[in-house]
Amino acid sequence: MKTVTYRIPNISCNHCVHTIQSEISELAGVQSVVANKDTRQATITFDTPATEELIISTLKEINYPPELS
């Protein structure tokens, strides 16, 4: 099991939070998704077959690209 936290600048309201949580939680292997509009972060816990690359590409597809360092 792996947990990652991404800063997502596009999170601005509860609808954004709902969209991220709904879309990412549908990925096979994702255990939990907690997005926060105040911190503009999403914390995702996942296991295989989900991968960090898949999560990032899905966030980009739904117009919530994470800031990557």
54 near 27, Cβ under 8 Å? yes
Q: Is the pLDDT of residue 69 over 80?
A: no
Q: Domain 2-61 class?
A: alpha beta
Label residue 68 by pLDDT band (50, 70, 90). Answer: confident
Buried b (16+ CB within 10 A) or exposed e, 45-57: ebeeebeeebbee
Q: What is the distance between the alpha carbons of residues 46 and 44, in angstroms, rounded to a whole number? A: 6
Q: Is the pLDDT of residue 44 over 80?
A: yes
Neighbours of 66 (CB within 10 A): 20
Q: What is the distance between the alpha carbons of residues 68 and 23, in angstroms, rounded to a whole number? A: 20
